[in-house]
A = this chain, B = another copy of it.
């Protein structure tokens, strides 16, 4: 799957993933009203507003980028109706030729992680039938439980030709609270915890190569470019999924260390900066009705900005 993602990055000239993390505050009044007219001010109504909003944005950006990344928490907040729209968003994006990274940050002990992996990337046997769950192409995985929490995802990814991105150094302000702690590794050397996790990602990924890169990638925040440089070296075969660009403060020129020469090795996410572009002054001319076209313009601007990092 990672080779498919890399091909799509080269084809679109865009190491860009659009984060589909809708929020009722980002959704134009007219869309909300249309959804509430059909379903009322209910979880179903909120979910329907997300669906209309997402589908319009997918239509507007599908030819420009390789992938989208729906953040499942935004859907899960509305319970089952929200998750039904997460599911429909995954499938609609795939129908439009986009690769889907489910930002689910799951992780548990062995057999339980295996259930998550089957539910998001693979299939479960029910009698004589093989049943697929949400069926994203990649998911994000939390490593706190160690190898036996991550390897079930690696196994399913290998068997299904899918992929994972393991949280290594996250983009949020307090990510350093645990991730930056200086630890003594197996060899007795002191280094930050995120480097140890980076080493594990490299080892897990060796079992799961797909072309020059592994189906096991890593999450490293745009907000920590210096750590990105070191992690790029520690994980030579991992594609780095880079959140924190734009609204969280990262800029294109900060990101060159995340990429290999030649332009592969990383994919940069922007969520609010794209899907809520219509609320920004620079895209005000699109108006609320032009929210999807504003997101298209924001993608084009992001692609231009990122050329400094990878072209």
Which residues of A line the B interface, CB within 8 A? 21, 24, 32, 36, 40-43, 45-46, 71, 73-74, 76-80, 82-84, 87, 105-110, 112-113, 115-116, 118-120, 124-129, 131-134, 142-149, 167, 170-179, 181-185, 190, 193, 196-197, 200
Contact assessment for A167 and B145 in the assembled complex, using a CB-CB cutoff below 8 Å:
yes
Q: Give Cα distance in the complex from A46 to B78, angstroms.
A: 24
Contact assessment for A146 and B178 in the assembled complex, using a CB-CB cutoff below 8 Å:
yes
**Neighbouring B residues of A175 by C-beta, 8 Å:** 145-146
Query: Given A41-B128, A126-B43, are A148 and B174 also a contact pair (CB < 8 Å)?
Result: yes
Query: Given A115-B73, A133-B78, are A196 and B181 also a contact pair (CB < 8 Å)?
Result: yes
**Neighbouring B residues of A143 by C-beta, 8 Å:** 144, 178
Query: Given A143-B144, A145-B174, A182-B183, are A87 and B76 also a contact pair (CB < 8 Å)?
Result: no
Task: Give this chain's copy count.
Answer: 2
Q: Which of A43, A84, A110, A171 has the most CB of B within 10 A?
A: A43
Query: Given A80-B84, A124-B78, are A197 and B171 also a contact pair (CB < 8 Å)?
Result: no
Contact assessment for A181 and B179 in the assembled complex, using a CB-CB cutoff below 8 Å:
no
Q: Give Cα distance in the complex from A147 to B172, angstroms.
A: 10
Contact assessment for B112 and A78 in the assembled complex, using a CB-CB cutoff below 8 Å:
no
**Neighbouring B residues of A132 by C-beta, 8 Å:** 79
**Neighbouring B residues of A74 by C-beta, 8 Å:** 112, 115
Name A181's contact: one of B21, B78, B193 (CB within 8 Å): B193
**Neighbouring B residues of A126 by C-beta, 8 Å:** 24, 41-43, 45-46, 78
**Neighbouring B residues of A36 by C-beta, 8 Å:** 127
Contact assessment for A200 and B177 in the assembled complex, using a CB-CB cutoff below 8 Å:
yes
Contact assessment for B146 and A144 in the assembled complex, using a CB-CB cutoff below 8 Å:
no
Q: Give Cα distance in the complex from A82 to B71, angstroms.
A: 20
Contact assessment for B172 and A193 in the assembled complex, using a CB-CB cutoff below 8 Å:
no
**Neighbouring B residues of A41 by C-beta, 8 Å:** 126-129
- In the complex formed, the residue of B with least CB distance to A184 is B182
Q: Give Cα distance in the complex from A133 to B83, angstroms.
A: 10
Q: Give Cα distance in the complex from A112 to B110, angstroms.
A: 26
